[in-house]
Structure 1
Amino acid sequence: MRKAYGPVYVNGEKVQVYVDGEKVQVYVDGSCTNNGNAANAQAGSGVVFGPGNWRNVAVRVPGEQTNNRGEAFAALQAILACDVHKHLEIFSDSEFVIRSLTHWLATRVSTGWGEAAQGDLFDDIVWLIRRRPAPVSLRKVKAHSGNAHDDGADALAKQGAA
């Protein structure tokens, strides 16, 4: 991701700026009932910072109602909820989100998000990441594998879609 987002410069010098290297881990997930049926679909996002954390959230997704939009919106919510001076590590079971923000990113940044699926959300995500002094890491987790945090994000995403 450093290649895509670039280093941080202060007075012309490259720096790493974040507090004590402290890392915040967050699990994100999206859900959509009747996915693929535009007339009846309802998408939600779930974000889990940890058991009982006040930042844990279940939200209904604005705009297009798809599972991928739910996944992307969850990542956006996680970034918005985290202190910009702390290293943010986002865990997602969405191959789409991970690839959109890594493998496909260089092309999207150079050509614009245009008609790309959820391009409006990814454009916002990239804008926020670029302005953070602390790094953001993405980690792929296996869905429905018994990981309590991922399962919690999944449950909140379903709640948000209800």
Structure 2
Amino acid sequence: MASDAAAEGGGAAAAAERPAPARPRRVVEVWTDGGCSPNPGPGGWAAILVSGPHRKELSGAEPHSTNNRMELTAAIAALEALKGPCRVVLHTDSEYLRNGITRWVKDWLRNGWRTASRQPVANRELWQRLLDAAARHEVAWRWVRGHAGDPMNERADRLATEARERLMAAAADRPAPSSRRR
């Protein structure tokens, strides 16, 4: 830090005058999951947030999505639900999510949101939302094997599936638009 201040020409005195960034106090463990059936198709997402004795479950669904979009949406919803800066350990069974946020995004930003093959990054708007949501927290991204017995991962999977099924049931209950013309 002192070398940064010296490089800016302010020296140690200027560094001492700058307020230290807020340090997250609370640790929150998060488990996320998302998926579609079929893919692409109707999708559901879920997140479970645990901090000490407190637990919050979030879920939602979209009529037309992909597995990857639902995985991203779950992580975004979890991070946006936190009221202040936190230390977050986010567990995901999505290698797309974990690799994207920990490795690929650096290159995408450097390449103007283009992949190594110069194609536009898929789901760019969600990646940007995820970066914004993660920026105020200290996030450790942990990959867990899906459907391998982790109780919280299994719970997140059930919540995402239930959200998708509720959406599909509600759509099936709606009357079809009339084909008669007036």
Normalization by structure 1: what TM-score?
Answer: 0.78
Q: Is 1:110 equivalent to 2:110 in the alignment?
A: yes
Distance in 2 of aligned mates of 1:78 and 1:49: 7
- After superposition, the Cα gap between the structure-2 partners of 1:124 and 1:10, relative to the gap in structure 1 and judged at 3 Å, is farther
Question: Counterpart of 1:73?
Answer: 73
Question: Counterpart of 2:143?
Answer: 140
Distance in 2 of aligned mates of 1:123 and 1:10: 33
Question: Counterpart of 1:154?
Answer: 157
Which residue type is aligned with residue 58 of structure 1? S
Q: Name the structure where helix makes up a greater proportion of residues.
A: 2
Give the superposed CA RMSD. 2.5
Matched length: 144
SS in 2 for 1:152: helix
Between the aligned residues of both structures, percent identity stands at: 26
Which residues of 2 match residues 4-83 of structure 1 at below 5 A?
Answer: 12=18, 15=21, 17-19=23-25, 22-36=26-40, 41-50=41-50, 53=55, 55-61=56-62, 65-83=65-83
| Structure 1, unpaired ranges of 5+ | 1-8
Distance in 1 of aligned mates of 2:74 and 2:83: 16
- Say which one has the larger Rg: 2
| Structure 2, unpaired ranges of 5+ | 1-14, 115-119, 166-182
Normalization by structure 2: what TM-score?
Answer: 0.70
Query: Which of 1 and 2 has higher RCO (CA within 8 Å, sep 6+)?
Result: 1
